[in-house]
Amino acid sequence: MVSGQNWESCDDDVKLFLLDLVEGLRSQLGSQLTGIYLHGSLAMGSYYRPKSDMDLIVVVKKPLGPELAEDLGVAVATHAIGRPSVGSIELSVITAEVAKKVPVPTPFEVHYSSQWHEQILRREIDYTKERTDSDLLSHLTYVLQRGICLFGKPIAEVFGAVGWEHFMASVLADCQWILEGDHILESPYYGVLNLCRVLQLCSEDSQRVYSKDEGGEWGLAHLPREYHPIIQQALAVYRSADAVTEEERATGGRDWDQEQLLAFSDYARWRLEGLMESCQGDGTG
Please give the Cα distance from 231 to 194 (Å, whole number). Answer: 11
User: Do 203 and 222 meet the contact criterion of CB atoms below 8 Å apart?
Assistant: yes
| pLDDT in the model for residue 279 | 53
Digit-by-digit pLDDT tens for the chain (285 residues) are 679 999 999 999 999 999 999 999 999 999 999 999 999 999 999 999 999 999 999 999 999 999 999 999 999 999 999 999 999 999 999 999 999 999 999 999 999 999 999 999 999 999 999 999 999 999 999 999 999 999 999 999 999 999 999 999 999 988 999 999 999 999 999 999 999 999 999 999 899 999 999 999 999 999 999 999 999 999 999 999 999 999 999 999 999 999 999 999 999 999 998 887 655 555 444
| pLDDT in the model for residue 277 | 64
Q: Rounded to whole angstroms, what are the CA distances from 283 to 75, 167, 169, 277, 278?
A: 39, 9, 10, 10, 8
pTM of the model: 0.95
Q: pLDDT tens digit string along 221-276?
A: 999 999 999 999 999 999 999 999 999 999 999 999 999 999 999 999 999 988 87
Q: Rounded to whole angstroms, what are the CA distances from 254 to 183, 209, 227, 233?
A: 17, 29, 18, 10
Instruction: Tell me whether the omega of the peptide bond preceding residue 105 falls within 30 degrees of 0, making it cis.
Output: yes
The type of residue at 212 is K
List of residues 6+ apart from 157 with CB closer than 8 A: none
Does an H or E element contain 33, and which? strand 33-39
